[in-house]
């Protein structure tokens, strides 16, 4: 099981290989290759065919980048020390964006790429080879100047902590959701799928939905596979909220919320990071759990990963387990469950576990966690090594191939 990891501070992409534990031996986790990249890639997304990797790039000017994934190519120096054959990432092209991108997402049909960051966003067409094509729409989220780093412990990241931070699509690709920390809202759009040029707008019917609390700061969203519920991770209040999605696909109605750090902990000491759905624990094809993570605002404050049970319709139920992370997580503590197709059910027996990648920029670790339906535990870890001795590589996000 291979994982690609981007970083906050190095022009590199890392390919890791995780081998689950088995009756034949314990789990192994290795760095297979360390490949040069266009810039620091803080967010990664795969094409629907999983043969192209799209990345945000903290370059000057800011950009987004497309790499072709060759699953069975590697150089001898990449693999000699780690064993096995590493996938190779080959640059296809890049495109500039108006402001530093925090997130990219691909339309389920593979026709469009969306980028959002701080005060702005873009919609690009995608070429037949997976390359980034024409920019057909530019988005602005500015209502007032909120792009200031004053008072933020770790800075502003080009407006990302005071602006739009993520972009996600409904399962059918007909609607789009943008979480906006600075404006304390979620923006929703209808997707006009038949627009291929700049002659008319691709994203239409924009609506603004103010968060449930004055201090929420929506950071990331993820939709339930049924298309009827949207989950929002609140960076400032360390809550995960569930919203009913109206039949029009763009109307949101708050229905419940769960705190993802221990009850006695103050949200002011944390900045929540990620929310993701279980891929393995399902009921009639629908996920039974949500994973959500929070980072400590200071290096001596450890973060958390919470597991939340959801019912058959996607509504939040109760916290199943809250696991303390080994570090604060730094700027990361991003969780990413392994896709369902990566599992070999025949090797599990009665010990069914879900594998979850967790990134850490404080010390440069990538962890693999397991969840067995009751609790989370660490299974393996590897530290990313920089090209310079002693360099801490700020692991950002991980994606499973």
Query: Contact, 66 vs 38, CB < 8 A?
Result: no
**Residue 198, pLDDT above cutoff 70:** no
Please provide the average confidence, as pLDDT, over all residues in the chain.
Answer: 91
Query: For 171-180, 241-250, 334-343, which range has the lowest pLDDT when averaged over its residues?
Result: 334-343
> Strand, coil or helix: what is 265?
coil
- Closest by CA to 180, choosing from 132, 232, 131, is 232
The mean pLDDT value for 18-44 works out to 93
- Considering the segment(s) 103-400 as one domain, its CATH architecture is 7 Propeller (2.130)
- Dihedrals φ, ψ of 78, to 5°? -70, -35
Measure the CA–CA gap between 40 and 324, rounded to whole angstroms.
Answer: 28
Domain ranges of the chain: 103-400
Give residue-wise pLDDT tens across range 333-374.
Answer: 999 999 988 887 655 655 789 999 999 999 999 999 999 999
Query: For 8-22, 138-152, 281-295, 324-338, which range has the lowest pLDDT when averaged over its residues?
Result: 138-152
pLDDT at 149 (0 to 100): 46
Measure the CA–CA gap between 192 and 149, rounded to whole angstroms.
Answer: 36
Give residue-wise pLDDT tens across range 82-121.
Answer: 456 889 999 999 999 999 999 999 999 999 999 999 999 9
Measure the CA–CA gap between 241 and 185, rounded to whole angstroms.
Answer: 12
Measure the CA–CA gap between 379 and 386, rounded to whole angstroms.
Answer: 23
pLDDT at 246 (0 to 100): 97
Measure the CA–CA gap between 195 and 202, rounded to whole angstroms.
Answer: 5
Distances (CA, A) of 314 to 106, 123, 188, 281: 23, 29, 19, 13
Q: How far apart are the first and last CA of the chain?
A: 7
Q: Quick one: tokens of 240?
A: 């995960």
pTM value > 0.85:
yes
């Amino acid at each position: 099981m291979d994982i690609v990891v981007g970083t906050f501070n190095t022009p590199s992409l890392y390919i890791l290989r995780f081998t689950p534990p088995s009756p034949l031996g314990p789990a192994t986790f290795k760095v297979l290759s360390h490949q040069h990249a266009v810039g620091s890639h803080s967010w990664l997304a795969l094409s629907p065919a999983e043969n192209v990797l799209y990345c945000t790039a903290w370059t000057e000017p800011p950009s987004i980048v497309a790499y072709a994934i060759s699953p069975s190519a590697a150089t001898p120096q990449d693999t000699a020390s780690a064993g096995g054959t590493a996938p190779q990432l080959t640059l296809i092209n890049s495109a500039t964006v108006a402001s530093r991108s925090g997130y990219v997402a691909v339309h389920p049909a593979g026709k469009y790429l969306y980028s959002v960051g701080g005060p702005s966003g873009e919609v690009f067409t995608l070429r037949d080879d997976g390359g980034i094509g024409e920019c057909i729409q530019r988005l602005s989220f500015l209502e007032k100047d909120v792009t200031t780093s004053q008072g933020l412990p770790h800075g502003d990241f080009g407006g990302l902590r005071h602006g739009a931070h993520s972009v996600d699509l409904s399962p059918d690709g007909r609607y789009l959701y943008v979480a906006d920390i600075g404006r304390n809202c979620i923006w929703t759009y209808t997707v006009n799928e038949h627009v291929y040029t700049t002659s008319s707008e691709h994203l239409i019917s924009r609506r603004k939905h103010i968060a449930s609390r004055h201090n929420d700061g929506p950071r990331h969203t993820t939709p339930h596979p049924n298309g009827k519920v949207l989950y929002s991770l609140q960076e400032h209040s360390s809550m995960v909220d569930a919203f009913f999605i109206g039949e029009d696909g763009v109307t949101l109605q708050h229905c419940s919320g769960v705190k993802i750090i221990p009850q006695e902990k103050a949200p002011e000491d944390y900045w929540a990071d990620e929310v993701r759905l279980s891929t393995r624990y399902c009921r009639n094809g629908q996920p039974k759990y949500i994973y959500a993570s929070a980072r400590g605002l200071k290096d001596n404050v450890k973060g958390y990963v919470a597991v939340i049970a959801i019912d058959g319709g996607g509504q939040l139920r109760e916290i199943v387990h809250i696991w303390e992370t080994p570090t604060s997580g730094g700027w990361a503590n991003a969780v990413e469950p392994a896709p369902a197709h990566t599992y070999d059910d025949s090797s599990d027996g009665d010990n069914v576990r879900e594998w979850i990648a967790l990134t850490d920029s404080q010390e440069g670790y990538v962890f693999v966690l397991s969840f067995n339906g009751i609790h989370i535990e660490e299974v393996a870890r590897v530290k990313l090594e920089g090209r310079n001795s002693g360099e801490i590589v700020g692991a950002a996000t991980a994606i499973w191939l």
